[in-house]
Chains A and B, each alone.
Chain A
Amino acid sequence: MASQHAKDYLRNAMMPHIWCPGCGHGIILGAILRAIDKAGLDQDKTVIVSGIGCSSRASGYMDFDTLHTTHGRALAFATGIKMAKPELNVIVIMGDGDCSAIGGNHFIHACRRNIDLTAIVFNNSIYGMTSGQYSPLTPRGSFATTAPYGTIEREFDLCDLAIAAGATYVGRGTTYHAQLLSDLIVKGLANKGFSLIEGVSQCPTYFGRKNKKGGPVDMIKWQQEHAVNAVAAAKMTKEQLEGKFIVGELHNSPAPEYIAEYDKIITARRA
């Protein structure tokens, strides 16, 4: 398959997209499209499923069969698509709130089932579309419109949650680490099972402003300064890792895939 630019996979008539100047979501979208290209996926056999939120508007710009669903339920819709037509590549795009708050239950069960979906979570630590509320991935103490005095809630580590729930491929990249992000997605697509790639993104408009993080360039610099690669992190102490977050491949442990297991039943029982 000839290598193309990410933009060649866009629905040109829908561009430019609605995201704010400097929003990281376009970078993550680009990483996904490059990964699809590198993986050689058939554009006609690939379905993109998204939830609700800024990140989930991504599906409208992608030139595939695309499904923009209800808030938090993308993984459940995707499960139906994949169960009915396992030959399709199904990629699920969600935001941090969509995936870990309202979608939390569907997230842990998709991980547990190890169904062959590739989930990419655009984590900008905020509910952007509704103008800046905190999510379960917002760092404790951050400010948001529904946390005017700072959040008191501990945030999830979404990758830890995915691993604990049974996902077989888990990685984290950022908009700074755009190449890494794309490479992780390629591996996630190749994994026959549930893959979760968290893309740390920036929302300069709401999270950035409310928490005095500066503009998009400052926020990406922050990612550069606070990310530690998993390989290096393994050799660091807890003190050294204070205030940092880990990027790279975090978990790669193949296990029987859900539909492959189900199809054994069909083979055995088919009349």
Chain B
Amino acid sequence: MVIPLENQPVASPVSINKRWCKRCGICIAFCPKGVLAAGPDGYPVVVAPEKCIKCRLCELRCPDFSIIVEEGDKNGG
């Protein structure tokens, strides 16, 4: 989790492991809903968690096993 909880109306379903992430930008570029953006240090940041549809494309296309989408679909199922 990279966004302070108090700033978020919706809990982020996406968690990022900065220890393994190499800042390639793939997850940011290919998220269909624009959930992610590059932070000031280049690491991906969840900027729009409410838009996440849990398509998991970020997780599938992350080369570094650094992004995990929690279980279930966008409706919480």
Partners in one complex: yes
A98-106, A146-154, A173-181, A246-254 - the one binding chain B: A173-181
Asked whether, in the complex, the Cβ of B63 is within 8 Å of the Cβ of A179, the reply is no
The listed residue (B19, B22, B63) touching A27 by CB distance below 8 A is: B63
Instruction: Please tell me if B62 contacts chain A, counting CB pairs below 8 Å.
Output: yes
CA distance A7 to B24 in the complex (A): 18
Asked whether, in the complex, the Cβ of B24 is within 8 Å of the Cβ of A21, the reply is yes
Asked whether, in the complex, the Cβ of A30 is within 8 Å of the Cβ of B60, the reply is yes
A11-19, A80-88, A132-140, A263-271 - the one binding chain B: A11-19
CA distance A153 to B58 in the complex (A): 36
Q: Given A16-B20, A217-B25, are A26 and B68 also a contact pair (CB < 8 Å)? A: no
| A25 contacts across to B, CB distance below 8 A | 63
Asked whether, in the complex, the Cβ of B24 is within 8 Å of the Cβ of A216, the reply is yes
CA distance A217 to B57 in the complex (A): 14
Within residues 1 to 34 of chain B, which ones have a CB less than 8 A from any CB in chain A?
19-20, 22-26, 29-30
Min CB distance A199 to B, Å, is 12
Min CB distance B32 to A, Å, is 12
The listed residue (B22, B61, B65) touching A178 by CB distance below 8 A is: B61
Instruction: Please tell me if A163 contacts chain B, counting CB pairs below 8 Å.
Output: no
Q: Given A7-B68, A22-B25, are A16 and B19 also a contact pair (CB < 8 Å)? A: yes
Instruction: Please tell me if B73 contacts chain A, counting CB pairs below 8 Å.
Output: no
| B22 contacts across to A, CB distance below 8 A | 16, 20-22
| B24 contacts across to A, CB distance below 8 A | 21-22, 215-217
Asked whether, in the complex, the Cβ of B62 is within 8 Å of the Cβ of A30, the reply is yes
Instruction: Please tell me if A6 contacts chain B, counting CB pairs below 8 Å.
Output: yes
Asked whether, in the complex, the Cβ of B62 is within 8 Å of the Cβ of A216, the reply is no
Asked whether, in the complex, the Cβ of B65 is within 8 Å of the Cβ of A19, the reply is no
| A5 contacts across to B, CB distance below 8 A | 59, 68
The listed residue (B19, B29, B63) touching A24 by CB distance below 8 A is: B63
Instruction: Please tell me if A121 contacts chain B, counting CB pairs below 8 Å.
Output: no
Q: Which of B's residues lie within 8 Å of A, judged by CB? A: 19-20, 22-26, 29-30, 57, 59-65, 68
10 smallest CB-CB distances across A and B, nearest first, come from: A26-B63, A21-B22, A22-B24, A178-B60, A7-B65, A217-B29, A16-B20, A21-B24, A216-B24, A27-B63
Besides A17-B64, A22-B22, A220-B61, 5 other A-B contacts (C-beta < 8 A): A7-B65, A20-B22, A176-B61, A215-B24, A220-B26
